[in-house]
Every structure is written in structure tokens, then in C-alpha cells.
Structure 1
Amino acid sequence: MSYRIMRRGLAVAVALGGLLLSAPAGAASTDAGSVAAPRPTLVPVGTGSPELESQRQATTRAAATASGRRTSAALAPPQPCWQNVSFRRFGLTRYVSMELQYSGDRKYELRARSDSVGPWELFTLCRDPFSEVTTIRSQSNHNYVSVEEAYQGTIYAMLRARTGEVNLGPWELFYSDIEPGQGYCGQIRANSNGLFVAAEEDYPGTSKGMLRARTTAAQIGTWETFCY
């Protein structure tokens, strides 16, 4: 099911039973916000770094398993991957950052909190256009983004860029209904618990904007909508 969003002029139509999200007056049709960000770069198959090509292969294997139309990862075409992808919560100019300086259980936490794009806000994304299986990797610490399902309470299913190469599994797989660089906004759903990623705007202080996979399809709104 597609939850794709495209901004045109002053409004955004969301395919969620007729829900309509208003855009700020004077907003661009690409919903690019007021802060310039690097455009995602599509990396041709076989031309990326060893790290990127490994991510491409991992995404291809996961997509082959997830899609009923494919029975063998060996027969599946390599998945498209983009570098320099930045995420911004819809309606805001706050980009998603990977908190490199946090410690303990929150080390490498993802938060929608930055008003500009630097190394902590850049990710590599690979996405199968058929199954929508997606992997996201921080370009700052080179780890995959994972959903922390073992966490409890207000940090349940927090997103952290903490998984290395050898540990890629269900917690590191997502479904996204858009591809980078096309001027669209949409949702990101976690494979492990089936819930959509939200930015916790009500959280205080250093927790504000924390990304968590905790929203059902019926509850999707602006907090669950990202532009990249």
C-alpha cells in the first residue's frame, strides 16, 4: 500500500483515506525547506565503495526473500543505492541526525533535530522498487540503522545507527514508499514490528525529535512523514 506524498503549492495530498496536510504558504513544490541540502546521488551498480556494494548485496538478498515474485537472490537484479541522503521531517527544517556523541543505550540515536546538513545527517540508502525493502546506513559511523525492539517504555523501538556488517537482520530492514531525490515525502515502516517511524516532537531536551518505529497505519500524520 502506498503512502506517497507530493507537495504542490500550498497543500499535500496524502493517500490515507483522504487525509490532507497543509503546507506553509510559499513552500516549494519539492518541499525542500529553507535549508539547502546535498541532492542524493544514485550510484551505478558496481561503481560504489566496497561498503556500498556490500549494502547493495544485502538489500538484494533481503528483497529476494520478501518479494513473492522472486525465489532466488542470485536471480534478483542488484538494488539501486543512493549516497548523501538526508531526511527531514515534513513541515519542518530539522534534519535527522545520528548522535555520535551520545553514550550508552542511546549512542548513535537518530533524532530529527538539525537545521543544517553535515556528516551526521548523511546516509546511504538502498531500496528495492518492487518490495520496497530498504536499508539505511550512516555515512558518519558506517553502521546500519536498527530498530531497538528490546528497549522499553518511551525509548521502545528507537532508531540507532549501531549495526555492523556481520549482524544485518530483521531489525535493520525497513519499507519505504519513495525513493530519494524525487521531490516526494512519505513514510518509513520497520520490518521487525510492522510499525511506522515517528519523530517524537513532544519529547524534551536532548530527546526531542527521537525517531521510533511505534505508529500504526491508522495513526500516520506529520510526525511519521519524511522528505528526502
Structure 2
Amino acid sequence: MAGFMKPSDTARATGPICDDMKIKSLGNDRLLAPELDYTGYVKGMVRARTISAGEWEWFTVCKHDGGFETILAWAANRYLAAELDYTGADTGMLRARSTSIREWEKFDIQCPSYCTIRSLANNKYVAAELAYTGSGYGMLRARSTSVGAWEKFQ
């Protein structure tokens, strides 16, 4: 798929409804990708950083019967999680690191004319950190209480 599309809201008793997609930040017009070459606590950090899509830029978004969405990064084969125990400028960092679904892996995705991603664990919108520089540029964080340009995706 060319852009970010929310799976149908129609719930099925047989399991989640999933869709494969690329996700683009409208703040910088870049595709999201997990940083699999990073090490330590930033391994799998998701950033809005690429222009063209390769394997790292593909995700599977699933709408679950419980009323939440999950995002699986293909290249990592891991669910995205909001790192709520991180502090400072890393609070709420999204990382492709989870093999199971718990609270930090649950999101609410709404797509009126653009899409927003809200962490259900801390009730904050995901933003692409476009003021960060270097290897942190475009880092996704669940940290916003309102929606601006950095919290919009397609």
C-alpha cells in the first residue's frame, strides 16, 4: 500500500484484522523505519527518516477485538512499544522490540484526513521529533497531549 491506512473498524470474533503498509510522517514527509543497527537501549528505535521504501519501512497494523491496534515492524519481526520507563528526551520512545502484546504495545489509530497514533499506556499521541539532530532525528515518541504537524501520519 502506498500510505498509512487504518484497518476496518469491523471487529471479527476470529481474530485481528491486519493490513500491511508503509507509514509516513507528514511533518517531514519521511517513511518510518526501525533502527536495527543501533545497539543498547536504542536498538529498534523507530524514526521518520527514509524517502524510499525497502524492507525496513514495512509494517503490519492490526485492529484487535479489544479495541486497540498493534504495529509490527517487518524487518525486526517485533511489535512497536512505547518506552514509558525511559526519562528525559527519550521518554515514550517507540521501539520495535516486543514479541508479545502487553500495555506498551497497544495503540489507538484514528484516520480522519490524516492519521494519529496514540499510546493507550500513557494516553499520549506519537510525535516525530523533528527538532532532534543526528541519530535521534525523527525519533517517534508517545509524548504529546494534542495533535500538531509532528503528530500526523499517512
- TM interval, short-chain normalised: 0.7 to 0.9
Q: Which has the higher strand share?
A: 2
Residue 215 of structure 1 corresponds to which residue in structure 2? 144
TM-score (norm 1): 0.60
Report the Cα distance in structure 1 between the residues aligned to 2:109 and 2:26, rounded to whole angstroms: 15
* 1:115 aligned onto 2:44: no
Identity of aligned residues (%): 36
Asked if 1:172 corresponds to 2:105, the answer is yes
8 Å contact from structure 1 (residues 148, 159) kept in 2:
yes
Give runs of aligned pairs for residues 1-228 of structure 1, distance below 5 A.
38=2, 76-83=13-20, 85-128=21-64, 131=67, 133-165=68-100, 168-178=101-111, 184-217=113-146, 220-227=147-154
Q: Shift in Å at residue 79 of structure 1?
A: 2.7
Which segments of 5 or more consecutive residues in structure 2 lack a partner in the other structure?
none
Distance 1:196 1:185 in 2: 13
What amino acid is the match of 1:117?
Answer: A
Distance verdict in 2 for CA 1:129–1:201, change over 3 Å:
farther
Partner Cα distance (1:42, 1:216) in 2 = 21
Q: Deviations over 1:161-197 (max 9, x none)?
A: 00013xx200000000139xxxx42100001000000
What amino acid sits opposite 1:134 in the alignment? E
Q: For residues 129 and 178 of structure 1, do their structure 2 counterparts lie closer, same or farther at Cα, with a shift above 3 Å needed?
A: farther
Q: SS at the partner of 1:185? A: coil
Larger radius of gyration: 1
Runs of 4+ in structure 1 over 3 Å off = 37-43, 128-131
What residue is the counterpart of 1:56 in the other structure? Answer: none
Secondary structure in 2 matching 1:206:
helix
**RMSD, aligned α-carbons:** 2.6
* CA deviation vs aligned residue, 1:24-76 (integer Å, no higher than 9, x gap): xxxxxxxxxxxxx7567999xxxxxxxxxxxxxxxxxxx8xxxxxxxxxxx83
Relative CO higher for 1 or 2, CA cutoff 8 Å, sep ≥ 6?
A: 2
State the TM-score, normalized to the length of structure 2.
0.88
Q: Distance in 1 between matches of 2:119 and 2:89?
A: 17
Q: Could you say what secondary structure the match of 2:114 adopts?
A: strand
Determine the C-alpha separation between the residues in 2 that align with 1:114 and 1:137: 18
Unaligned runs of 5+ in 1: 1-36, 44-62, 64-74
* 1:92 Cα deviation after fit: 3.3
Give the number of aligned pairs.
151
CA–CA separation in structure 2 for the residues paired with 1:142 and 1:88: 19
CA distance, structure 1, for counterparts of residue 142 and residue 104 of structure 2: 11
